[in-house]
Amino acid sequence: MQYYLAVDIGASSGRHILGWMEDGQMKIQEIYRFENGMDLVDGTLCWDLERLFGEIKNGMKVCAGMGIQPVSMGIDTWAVDYVLLDRDGKVLGKTAGYRDKRTEGMDALVYQKIGPEELYGRTGIQKQIFNTIYQLMAVKCSEPEHLEAAEHLLMVPDYLNYLLTGVAKQEYTNATTTQLVNPETCGWDMALIEKLGYPTKLFRELSVPGTVVGPLTPEVRQETGLDCLVVLPATHDTGSAVAAVPTGEEHFLYISSGTWSLMGTERGNADCREVSRQANFTNEGGCGYRYRYLKNIMGLWMIQSVRREWKEAGETYSYGEICERASRERIPSIVDCNDGRFLAPESMCEAVRGFCRETGQPVPETKWEMAAVIYNSLAECYRICSQEIEELTGISYDRIHIVGGGANADYLNRLTANATGRTVYAGPTEATAIGNLAVQMMKGGEYESLEDARENIAKSFEIKVYEPEGRGDV
């Protein structure tokens, strides 16, 4: 039996999941889990990548301790954040995270070089102030010596792969989120990069999912007890999650539901029209050069944040309990989940109350009213987004696939079905790791194609179905 190891690292936690084929179905087993988050370092929100690498090796040791030697392992993480390395492979500067405020005002400086319309037309990527293009402008303004001294720019999963193998590769799906990749050539837009004054030597050939990075270094093999290849999945976690959407249909809507909610559809070509830019849709690269035409919605970050506030106040609740208690409330208030105030507030509860006050809506007074406002607001965002996708693509969609941890949110799934009037298929919950494994398994000969993998995923994992009210649950 051949095993494969997925290391899936999100903004709040990471996990090691083994995958294998048994009786014609994919099986998975979580063998290690760890926490993640940004730390405030001298006024900058940073990732502790040294600690993350240690956790990766800890999970690998658990795998070896089970007597399992996987054929390969692959890492996926969040997007846009990166590391600059000097010629000796040492990190330059801080490993700032996307929620840090250093990019404030950087859009204006970028637009002095290239207007927002032309930028979108060249890249198809929606404006998010934390995109790599703006992060690099911040470095250029405040720490230009780091750009000058850098020999490599590696996105976070690229850097972790470099620590594992000593090989520096830039992976395609994560690279597209930088807002510096041309969707027609599927490579770096060097003319754009030169126009912005970023060193072109940092942008090298892009590698696609399924590419072998290399074997583990002798040091890593000795420390962990594993001896396997490192293979690139879609290293952008949303890319891996969408690879695991369990459908054989050509046209479908999905929500990759976690800290962020990424709602969209899969297309063969990027849509870089001005109307797409105005609607704030993005065209992120996926497996097989497919495009994830989607919109970022704040997602479960809002619930995670209020839950954290309650915990700090001495009251701890499971997400299941929060969902269940929220479902009893009837407060009608709706907030715009994409409002910038919800990105990194000191208090998410106060940010929600403030929005309600400013818009003349009932202010949530209890925890469960607060949760209900957030869940109802997410469902309303999904309704609006699904309508926008139909208008922009000219295609009608009768179903929504919710994958990722948010697929467990029963109340939100029901709200989404009712708000959108579409059947909701929820699961698999570990879609990101499953998509990561699927690409490795394609490389390992277990699947012939992504279509083959998706068909098998639909048979291998539980998928819950929610019909809009009046049509009955399946």
Question: E strands, 362-420, where?
Answer: 399-403
Using the predicted structure, report yes or no on whether residue 473 has a pLDDT greater than 80: no
The percent of residues above 90 in pLDDT, for the chain, comes to 94
Give 31's contacts (C-beta < 8 A, 6+ positions apart). 16, 17, 18, 59, 62, 63, 66
Span between the terminal Cα atoms of the chain, in Å? 36
Dump pLDDT digits (tens) for 203-259.
Answer: 999 999 999 999 999 999 999 999 999 999 999 999 999 999 999 998 999 999 988
* 237 labelled catalytic: yes
* CATH of 3-236 among 3.30.420.40, 3.40.50.450, 3.50.50.60, 3.30.1380.10: 3.30.420.40
Using the predicted structure, report yes or no on whether residue 50 has a pLDDT greater than 90: yes
- CB contact at 8 A, 57 and 224: yes
Dump pLDDT digits (tens) for 144-196.
Answer: 999 999 999 999 999 999 999 999 999 999 999 999 999 999 999 999 999 99
- CB contact at 8 A, 399 and 276: no
In the chain, where the domains are located? 3-236, 247-426
**Catalytically annotated residue among 42, 237, 339, 410:** 237
Mean pLDDT of the chain: 96
Quote the CA–CA distance of 268 and 413 in Å, as a whole number.
28
pLDDT at 330: 96
More confident residue, 447 or 258: 447
Q: C-alpha angle 3/238/74, rounded to 5°?
A: 25
Residue 131's Cβ-count burial label (10 Å; 0-12, 13-18, 19+) is buried
pLDDT at 259: 82
Dump pLDDT digits (tens) for 397-420.
Answer: 999 999 998 999 999 999 999 999
Dump pLDDT digits (tens) for 75-96.
Answer: 999 999 999 999 999 999 999 9
- Exposure b/e, 165-203, CB count within 10 A at least 16 = b: bbebbbbbbbbbbbbbbbbeeeebbeebbeebebbeebb
Quote the CA–CA distance of 254 and 400 in Å, as a whole number.
5
pLDDT at 474: 43
Using the predicted structure, report yes or no on whether residue 333 has a pLDDT greater than 90: yes
The sheet carrying 229-231 orders its strands as: 25-35, 13-22, 3-9, 72-76, 229-231, 212-215
pLDDT at 344: 85
Give 72's contacts (C-beta < 8 A, 6+ positions apart). 4, 5, 212, 228, 229, 230, 231, 440, 443, 444
Cβ-based neighbour number of residue 210 at 10 Å: 17
Q: C-alpha angle 277/135/130, rounded to 5°?
A: 45
Using the predicted structure, report yes or no on whether residue 343 has a pLDDT greater than 90: no
pTM of the predicted protein model: 0.92
pLDDT at 470: 59
Q: Which two tokens stand for residue 86?
A: 């000097």
Quote the CA–CA distance of 329 and 333 in Å, as a whole number.
11
pLDDT classification of 472: cutoffs 50, 70, 90: very low
CATH number for the region 247-426 comes to 3.30.420.40
pLDDT at 17: 98
**Are the folds of 3-236 and 247-426 the same?**
yes
